[in-house]
């Protein structure tokens, strides 16, 4: 599996939910002891192949993300538990 160095969280507008996910992803990575991964947030328009090694979005937008690459869909975008578990699985920890 290719190493994940860049994670892009996105939502429809790139302002609200994507930012919530970015914060939680950063927190979760810190808790997992992962320090060398860059996390950013953006709008769905920037989700193209190669833009990131892993995309994170709400479960509704997952099909869009999977077209661009490896992706995680969240049912609860404020849940730290779900974020941590899914990141763990995606990073193979």
Partner 1 sequence: MDLLDKKNVKILERADDWKDAVRKSVVPLEEGGYVKAEYKEAIISGVEKLGPYIIVAPSIALPHARPEQGVVKSQIAITLFRKEVQFDKKDATAQLFVALAAADSDSHLNALMTISEILQDEEKVEQILQAENEEALYSFFN
**Contact positions toward partner 1, by CB under 8 A?**
11-17, 19-20, 23-24, 43-44, 57-58, 60-61, 64, 76-80
50 burial via Cβ count (<10 Å: 0-12, 13-18, 19+) = exposed
Give 13 or 85: the residue with its C-beta nearer to partner 1: 13
Instruction: Compute the distance between CA of residue 72 and CA of residue 61 in angstroms, rounded to an integer.
Output: 10
Rounded distance, CA 20 to CA 70, Å?
A: 20
The structure tokens listed for 49 are 């192949």
Cβ atoms within 10 Å, residue 19: 16
Nearer to partner 1, 63 or 89 (CB): 63
Q: How far is the CB of 43 from partner 1 (least distance, A)?
A: 8
Shortest reach from residue 7's CB to partner 1, in Å: 18
Q: How far is the CB of 51 from partner 1 (least distance, A)?
A: 18
52 or 77: whose CB is closer to partner 1?
Answer: 77
């Amino acid at each position: 599996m290719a190493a994940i160095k860049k994670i892009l969280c996105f939502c429809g507008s790139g302002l609200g939910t994507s930012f919530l996910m970015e914060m939680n992803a950063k927190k979760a990575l810190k808790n997992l002891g992962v320090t060398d991964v860059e996390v950013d947030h953006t709008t769905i328009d920037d989700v193209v192949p190669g833009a990131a090694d892993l995309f994170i979005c709400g479960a509704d937008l997952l099909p869009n993300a999977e077209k661009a690459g490896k992706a995680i869909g969240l049912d609860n975008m404020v849940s730290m538990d779900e974020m941590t578990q899914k990141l763990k699985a995606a990073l193979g920890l």
